[in-house]
Amino acid sequence: MNAKVGVVVFPGSNCDHDAYYVFKEIIKTDTKFLWHKEGSIGDRNIIILPGGFSYGDYLRCGAISRFSPIMQDVVRFANKGGIVIGICNGFQILCESGLLPGTLMRNANLKFLCKTVSLKVENNKSIFTSNYGIKEDINIPIAHGDGNYFCDEDTLTELISNNRILFRYNENPNGSIYDIAGIQNEKRNVLGMMPHPERVSDSELGNTDGLKLLSGVAESVI
Amino acid sequence: MFTAKIKVTLRKTILDPQGKTVEHSLISLGYDKISNTRIGKYIEMKIDVNSIEEATVIVEESCKRLLSNPVMEDYQFEIIQNGAV
């Protein structure tokens, strides 16, 4: 396997070790942590922006992380077609940095939600979802207070017509527009999603619905 | 030296569940004339430049680049020249 995964660690990241564990120990690929102050992603060809509360979610979730040194290189890498996955707080950072459209607002019911939810795979013709069936239902946990995806009408129309919505909630937990749980960018190399696939990737934990995503991405690097 | 007073608010078209919840609480306290409660952020900062024009450029850029997210928020600010103490 030629995947070289870099898991970015911001001050306040807390799902970085889970992502590292899945790539290193389960998928068994070359995996490294990347501290946010590093100016370069080095030889990594898959970048993971993990979940957590980077910079304490101060100001807005992801707003400050977006300006950290490593993000300048992640943006450059993504714009050149490099694979970037933002999970939860990582999705928020991708929206703040302009790699994905829209934003994630406070959950409509104002509660922090921590539970497994049912998602529908909207589009399985992507490097992120190729291991799933079309319209397959999968169970992946969410853990967020600000997961209410919002974008303007024109952006939503564009997301729908270009098949950029990869995951939708079967029962909308947070008020997201069009039940959106995960989207990809126009070039189809950047994924942002609120649910945590890395938490359901070890068979010892009884559910591997997330592994299909992460291993599929690792296998896509030739 | 100038002081900038910045208000960042959710755009009018966006539902503010926090504002709504606070409003319900106020109404239950008997203040039933209250409506359209919106919650935002207030940011105050000192700016060490010589003219209000320079201060305005700095505040405007700060609001655009970091302090607000144009997808969901609007900002307003005022800049006050600090008097001699």
* Sheet with B2-10, edge to edge strand ranges: B40-47, B2-10, B73-81
B14: chain A residues, CB-CB within 8 Å: 105, 150
* Binary contact (A59, B67; C-beta < 8 A): yes
pLDDT for A123 equals 97
Which chain A residues in 81-110 lie under 8 Å from chain B, judged by CB atoms? 95-96, 102-103, 105-106, 108-110
d(CA A201, CA A85): 15
Q: Which of B14, B17, B69 has its CB closest to that of A60? A: B69
pLDDT at B84 > cutoff 90: no
Determine the average pLDDT of the residues in A206-217.
97
pLDDT category, B85, cuts 50, 70, 90? Answer: very low
pLDDT for A61 equals 96
* Binary contact (A110, B67; C-beta < 8 A): no
* Binary contact (B14, A59; C-beta < 8 A): no
Determine the average pLDDT of the residues in B12-20.
91
Query: Smallest Cα–Cα separation from A201: which of A221, A216, A222, A186?
Result: A216
Name the strand (E) or helix (H) holding A191. Answer: strand A190-193
pLDDT tens profile A140-158? 999 999 999 999 999 999 9
pLDDT at A78 > cutoff 60: yes
Q: Confirm or reject contact between B13 and chain A (CB < 8 A).
A: no
* Binary contact (A110, B21; C-beta < 8 A): yes
pLDDT tens profile B19-42? 999 999 999 999 999 999 999 999
For residue B1, give both structure tokens: 């030296």
pLDDT for A137 equals 98
Q: Which of A106, A109, A151 has its CB closest to that of B71? A: A151
Torsion of CA A134, A137, A141, A143, to 10 degrees: 70
- Closest residue in A to B69 (Cα–Cα): A96
pLDDT for A1 equals 77
Determine the average pLDDT of the residues in A54-78.
97
What φ, ψ does residue B49 adopt, rounded to 5°?
A: -135, 175
The pLDDT > 70 percentage for chain A reads: 100
Segment of A46-50, B12-16, B17-21 carrying the highest mean pLDDT: A46-50
* Binary contact (A150, B14; C-beta < 8 A): yes
Return the minimum-mean-pLDDT range out of A51-55, A157-161, A181-185, B79-83: B79-83
Return the minimum-mean-pLDDT range out of A161-165, A170-174, B12-16, B70-74: B12-16
Determine the average pLDDT of the residues in A45-66.
96
Determine the average pLDDT of the residues in B39-47.
97
